[in-house]
Structure 1
C-alpha cells in the first residue's frame, strides 16, 4: 500500500489495525481490525462525526472485539495476510476519495469503504444503524459546517448585510452550473494559490461571464475539486452599494468597510473577498478629509492580509485601475474572452433545466440553437453567453405568460353567456315580448354553459398535467445525475435503487404523455418565441428574422413593380442584401451603400422611402440627413456629438443617436455634394467597417443599415458621372457598392409610373371608404404630363393631388365617414370626377 496517497490520520488508523491483528495473533488483516481502530481513537475527525450521530459506539466496539477474538489464529504463522474484504475496502476507499475530489484518502473514506462492503464488519455496524448512506450524509453535513468554521456566526451575520455568501449559495444549489470555462478557472485557482501577488482580477466585456467564473470557483470549493490550500474557503461578494447606503456622516463608510475587512483579515485566509465592478472602489465613499475604498484596501493587499478577486470591463480597467499603478500592480490580470458559439450552446444546455423548472415549461434544443444563431447575427453588440441566457429567459417567460392567460375560446364563450343573460333580463322587464324567446334563450344559455364548463375543466386539467410532466422530467434529470455519481463510486446497491426509481419516473412520464392533451396549450419554447424576443431586443422588424430565397425573390419582384426603370439598382440592392445575410465572408459592413444621381424629383427620395417600407418598418426605420445642413466646420460635431466639455455633450450626435435607437434602418444622405469635406472620412469609415465611435466613445453600429446617398443634377448621365470626381472624394466613390443614374422616362416607363401612382391612390382612397375607378383617357393625359415635364415623380404627384384629388374631395366632403361611395375619373379637356 502506497501510504503517500493517505492522510497521516488514515495511515495511522491502518497501522493501528495491523497492530491489533498482530496482538491477537490473527492470520489476516480484516475490516474488523480497521473499524475497531477507528472507534478506539477518540481524537480523529471521523470519531467526532460518529459521536454527533448519537450511535451506540461502545456496543459496536464490543461486538467487534468479540468478532476479532473468534477469528482463526493458527500457531506457527508469523506473516500477516490481507483479507479479500480488506483489499476490496482499500480499492473502494480510493474510488470514494476521487469521487469526492479529495487529494488523499482520509479516515472518512476508509470508513465509507468498510460500510460499502458486505463483510462481517459492515454487518455489525449496520446492526446499530451505521450504514453507508447515514455516514455519507453526516460527512456532507460536517463538511458544510467545516466551511464556516473559524468564522463566527456573528461575523457572518455582519458580512451578510453588505454582500452575499457565495459558498453558502453554492451549498444550497442556488448557483447555475459553469460549463466550458476550465482554462479561466485554472488560471484563477493558480493565482489564488500563489504565495505573493495572489489577487486575481478578471477583465472582459460585459456579459462574457466574469461573475460566473467566480461562481464556478465556489462550486469547485464545495466539491473539493481544487488544491488543499483553497479548500474550505468562503467566497464573500461585497456589495459596494449596500456599504455606502445610509452612510450619512463623515467616517460612517470607512467604519463599515473597516469592519468588513477586519472580519476577512481575522479569518486568516478563510474568507476570499470578491468585488464585482471593482473599478467602483476608486473614489467610492470618499469626501472631504476621508479616504476612498481603494486606498483603504491597498495596504492590506500589499501585506497579503486578504485574498481579493476583482472583476471589471476592459474599458473601465484602463480608465480607473490601470491609472492607479499602486493598485494595478497588486492584481494579476486574467483576460476573459467571449465564449464561442459551440461553448455558449453547451452552457445553455447545461442551465436549461433551471429555467424549465422556474417557468414550468420545456425548452427545445432547436430553440437553443436558434438563440445562438440569431443573437450572433442580430445582437452583435452584446456578448455571449449573457445575451443568449436573456433570450431564453424572456422566451420562456413569454410562453408562460400566454399559457397562464385564459384561452380566447373560453373567454369568448363566457362573454357570449353574459350577452345572452343580459338579453334574457331585458325581455323579462319589457312587456309584450313573447315567452318562446325566453325558452330559446334558456336553452342557448344552458348549451353555452355546458360547453364553457367542459372547455374550462379540460383547460385546467391539461394545465395540471403539463406542470406534473415538467416536475417528473426535472426529477428524471436529477436521478440521471445521481446514477452517474453512483456508477463513478461503484455503489451498486445505491445504483440498483436509483435505476428502479428512474424506471418508475419514466413510467409516470409515459403515463402523463399518453393521458393528454386534454386541451391545446403551448408549453414548449420553440424557435417562434425565440424569434419574437430577438425582434424585440434588437429593434428589428418582425419579418426579418427568417430570411430565405423566396423572401429575396419576392422582395426583388415587389421593388421592380414599384420602381420604374430602376431594375439594375434593385438587383444590386437585393444582391448586396443576400451577401450580407449569408455571411459567407464575415464582416460588419453596412448591408449596402448606393449613390443615386439624376434630376430633382426623379425618384431618389422615393427609392429610400420604398426600401424602408419593403424591408423594415417604413418611416420609423428611415433616417433622413439633409447634408445641406452640414456644410460648415461644425458639421462632424452635429453628426457624432459635441466633445467633452462642450455644450451639448450629453445630447449625442444626430446620426449616432438615431442609428443607436433604430439599428435596422435606411440612412438617406440627401444632397451629399453639399456636405463639408471633413464628413467624408467618417462616412468612408462607416462604409468600410460598419462602425464609428461617437463623442462619448460609444460604438454606433451600421451593420444592419442601408446607406443611400443622393445628388441632384440636370446634366446628362455621362457628364454627370464626369462631374462626380470634382464634387466628391475619389475614396468615397470607390467605396460605394453602386453609382446609379436615374434617367428621364420614355413613354413606356412613364405609363408604368402613372399606373403605379393611380394604384397607390386607389389603395389610399379605399381606406377612406372611397372606391375609385378611371378611364384610359385619364391615364393617357397623366402620361403626357409626365413626359412633358421631363421628370418622373414630383410633377405627376402635384397634378394628381391638385386636380384629381381635389375633385374627389369635393364630391365626398358631405359623405359620412363610414358610407362607401364609388367615384370615377376621366379626362375631357380637363380632369373630371363623377359619382357612380
Structure 2
C-alpha cells in the first residue's frame, strides 16, 4: 500500500461515509482496495490513491470526479443540461449552477456544511420543483435521489419536530425514527427538498439553523444525522401575488426587464418579512423564478410530447402532433393560478389516454385540433415543425 493511498484514505475520511469513523473507516477502504488490486492488477499489487477513490465512489454511489472535486468538466455544461428540463428560467438555472459549481469545487470552505442551501421563490407551476429534480439527476445520476418533505404539514412545531427527527429514546414509537432523519441516514447523497417552507412552524425551522451551518441534525435518540453531502432546496410561493399585477390575458405575455426587477424586489421583501435574519444568513442563494410566457409553456408541452414520442418509438409506435393541436394543449393545459402544473395531466388525458385505449388499432397516431379541442386519430403521419 503506497503512502499516497494511505494519505488519501485519511484525507477523504472526514468527508465521506460520515456514519463510520476513524480508524476503522480508512482501514476498511484500504483493505477493500487491496483485495480489488490483488484480483484486478496481480502484476502490480500496489494500492494507489485512485484505488481508494474507486472504493469510496462504489460505497457512496457518487461519481469519482465529485470525490476528487475535479468538477470543471462535469459542470462546464451544467446550465445547458438543467436548461433542457427547466424552460423559461435562465436566470434561476444560472444562479443554481454557479452556486453548486462553487460549493462542489475544490475551494469549498466548510466541508461539513451542506453542498448548497437554496431558497426558490416564485409562483406555482413555473419550474421550482422541476429544477430540484434536474439538480438531483445532474448531481447524483437520478431524479429519484431526492427526499421531499411537504413542510405545510408541519405547522405545529412540537409535533412536527417529533415527526421529522423522531421521538426521544424510551418513548413508545422512538424506534421508528423520524421521517427526515431516517431518510437522510439511508440516502446521505441527495437533494433535500423542503416544499412550501413558509408554512412550517418557525419553531420547527430552528432545527435547520445548525444543520445548514454545521451539516448535521441530532435525531430523537441523540444520534447525529449528516446533511454534509446533501443539497438543500427550499421552495416557497411567498410574494407570488405581486406577479398577478403584471398578468396579461390568459396569464401570458412577454416579461419586461423593469417589471420583473420590480416584482423580484417585492418578492424578496416578503421573504425578509417571513424568515429571520439568522435563517436567511444560512441560505447560500435565494433564487426568484419568473412567470411563464405562452411561448415558454408551449416549449414545456413540446418536452412532454417528445418524451411520449421516445417512449412509443421504443415500442415500435409513432405519434405526431400538429402545431394546431400543440396550441390547444398549451392554452387548455395552462392556468394563471397554477402555471404549467396541470399541463402534463392535460396531455395525459387528451393524448396518452386515447392512444392507450386504441393501442392495438394502429402503429401510427396523429394528434390534431378540431372544433377547439384535441382529437387523436390513427393513420398517416404528419410532421411537427
SS class of match (2:241): coil
Distance between the aligned counterparts of 2:343 and 2:213, measured in 1? 38
Distance between the aligned counterparts of 2:109 and 2:65, measured in 1? 23
Q: Which 5+ residue runs of structure 2 have no aligned equivalent? A: 244-262, 381-385
1:715 equivalent to 2:241? Answer: yes
Q: Aligned residue for 1:622?
A: 146
Q: Deviations over 1:693-716 (max 9, x none)?
A: 222222211111111111235412
Structure number with greater CO (CA < 8 Å, separation at least 6) is 2
Asked if the contact 2:92–2:288 (Cα under 8 Å) also holds between the matched residues in 1, the reply is no
Q: Aligned residue for 1:802?
A: 349
Q: Deviations over 1:209-255 (max 9, x none)?
A: xxxxxxxxxxxxxxxxxxxxxxxxxxxxxxxxxxxxxxxxxxxxxxx
Aligned residue among 388, 396, 400 for 2:26: 388
SS class of match (2:375): strand
Distance between the aligned counterparts of 1:734 and 1:761, measured in 2? 43
Distance between the aligned counterparts of 2:232 and 2:57, measured in 1? 22
Quickly say closer, same or farther: Cα 1:686–1:780, change in 2 above 3 A. Answer: same
Distance between the aligned counterparts of 2:123 and 2:95, measured in 1? 21
Instruction: Please say which structure displays the higher CA radius of gyration.
Output: 1
Aligned residue among 338, 362, 367 for 1:825: 367
Q: Aligned residue for 1:734?
A: 281
State the 1:640 CA deviation. 1.7
Quickly say closer, same or farther: Cα 1:578–1:389, change in 2 above 3 A. Answer: same
Asked if the contact 1:745–1:790 (Cα under 8 Å) also holds between the matched residues in 2, the reply is no
Quickly say closer, same or farther: Cα 1:542–1:618, change in 2 above 3 A. Answer: farther
Quickly say closer, same or farther: Cα 1:581–1:597, change in 2 above 3 A. Answer: closer
SS class of match (2:176): coil
More helix by share: 1
Asked if the contact 2:133–2:144 (Cα under 8 Å) also holds between the matched residues in 1, the reply is no
Q: Aligned residue for 2:383?
A: none
Asked if the contact 2:193–2:232 (Cα under 8 Å) also holds between the matched residues in 1, the reply is yes
Q: For residues 203-218 of structure 1, what are the structure 2 equivalents within 5 Å? A: none
SS class of match (2:28): helix
Q: Deviations over 1:262-286 (max 9, x none)?
A: xxxxxxxxxxxxxxxxxxxxxxxxx
Distance between the aligned counterparts of 1:812 and 1:627, measured in 2? 41
Q: Aligned residue for 2:155?
A: 631
Q: Aligned residue for 1:656?
A: 181
- Name the Cα RMSD after superposition: 2.9
Asked if the contact 2:99–2:285 (Cα under 8 Å) also holds between the matched residues in 1, the reply is no
Q: Aligned residue for 2:198?
A: 673
State the 1:383 CA deviation. 4.2
Q: Aligned residue for 1:773?
A: 320
SS class of match (2:171): coil
Q: Deviations over 1:389-416 (max 9, x none)?
A: 321221232344567xxxxxxxxxxxxx
State the TM-score, normalizing by the size of structure 1. Answer: 0.39
Quickly say closer, same or farther: Cα 1:540–1:710, change in 2 above 3 A. Answer: same
Distance between the aligned counterparts of 2:6 and 2:318, measured in 1? 49
Distance between the aligned counterparts of 1:799 and 1:679, measured in 2? 37
State the 1:589 CA deviation. 1.6
Quickly say closer, same or farther: Cα 1:584–1:598, change in 2 above 3 A. Answer: closer
Asked if the contact 1:540–1:663 (Cα under 8 Å) also holds between the matched residues in 2, the reply is no
State the TM-score, normalizing by the size of structure 2. Answer: 0.80
Aligned residue among 724, 732, 747 for 2:271: 724
Distance between the aligned counterparts of 2:50 and 2:118, measured in 1? 34
Asked if the contact 1:591–1:704 (Cα under 8 Å) also holds between the matched residues in 2, the reply is yes
Q: Deviations over 1:120-176 (max 9, x none)?
A: xxxxxxxxxxxxxxxxxxxxxxxxxxxxxxxxxxxxxxxxxxxxxxxxxxxxxxxxx
Distance between the aligned counterparts of 1:644 and 1:374, measured in 2? 32
Q: Aligned residue for 2:72?
A: 549
State the 1:624 CA deviation. 0.8
Distance between the aligned counterparts of 2:51 and 2:374, measured in 1? 53
Q: For residues 272-421 of structure 1, what are the structure 2 equivalents within 5 Å? A: 349=2, 370-401=8-39
State the 1:381 CA deviation. 5.0
- Equivalences, count: 353
1:566 equivalent to 2:89? Answer: yes
Distance between the aligned counterparts of 1:605 and 1:669, measured in 2? 10
Q: Deviations over 1:89-140 (max 9, x none)?
A: xxxxxxxxxxxxxxxxxxxxxxxxxxxxxxxxxxxxxxxxxxxxxxxxxxxx
Q: Which 5+ residue runs of structure 1 have no aligned equivalent? A: 1-347, 351-364, 404-465, 471-522, 816-820
Distance between the aligned counterparts of 1:669 and 1:401, measured in 2? 45
